[in-house]
Amino acid sequence: MVRAIRGATTVLNNEKTEILNETKKLLKEIIEKNNLEKDDIISIIFTATKDLNAVFPAVAAREMGLNDVALMCMNEIDVPDGLKKCIRVMLHINTSLEKDRIKHVYLNGAKVLRPDLS
């Protein structure tokens, strides 16, 4: 069965190292909390707010060895008063887990996006 896992994090600065490190932390936590193997991951969509352009967040996934996973980066819609410096992810996975067993992950300032899950 194909399921989706959502997650998000924020960074303090539009810096390559910080964006990559925080994206890796987010992906690692999603993978660990959901007991995923690399082969379980079909694709990952990354979005970043317009104030983050120092690096593609997908580079973090490649650096983690997710080389056979389809990755795509996009800009998040620029909503007035929306959360700034935010990276969001949606992983599509093959799993036998029921919907209510999926663990979505929100870190740093992104916890405000889904306080019910944080």
Chain mean position to CA 76: 13
Q: In this predicted model, what pLDDT tens digit does every residue of 30-50 receive, in sequence order?
A: 999 999 999 999 999 999 999
Query: Which CATH fold topology does 2-113 show?
Result: 60s Ribosomal Protein L30; Chain: A; (3.30.1330)
| Cβ neighbours of 87 (radius 10 Å) | 25
| Predicted structure pTM score | 0.95
Q: What pLDDT score was predicted for residue 7? A: 98
What strands, in cross-sheet order, belong to the sheet with 41-48?
A: 70-75, 41-48, 86-94, 2-10, 105-106
- pLDDT in the model for residue 61: 98
pLDDT band at 118 (very low <50, low <70, confident <90, very high): low
Q: Tell whether the model's pLDDT for residue 21 goes beyond 80.
A: yes
Q: Is 3 annotated as a binding residue?
A: no
Angular region, 49: left φ>0, alpha ψ -120 to 50, beta rest: beta
Q: Where are the domains of the chain?
A: 2-113
b/e per residue 30-44 (b: at least 16 CB within 10 A): bbeebebeeebbeeb
67 is in an annotated binding site: no
CA pseudo-torsion sign 9, 3, 73, 114: negative
Distance CA 93, CA 83 (A): 27
Q: pLDDT (tens digit, 9 = 90+) per residue, 55-89? A: 999 999 999 999 999 999 999 999 999 999 999 99
Max CA-CA distance within the chain? Answer: 39
Q: Which residues are marked as active site?
A: 6, 62, 73, 76, 88, 106, 114
Question: Known binder of ligand: residue 88?
Answer: yes
Band of residue 97 on the pLDDT scale cut at 50, 70, 90: confident
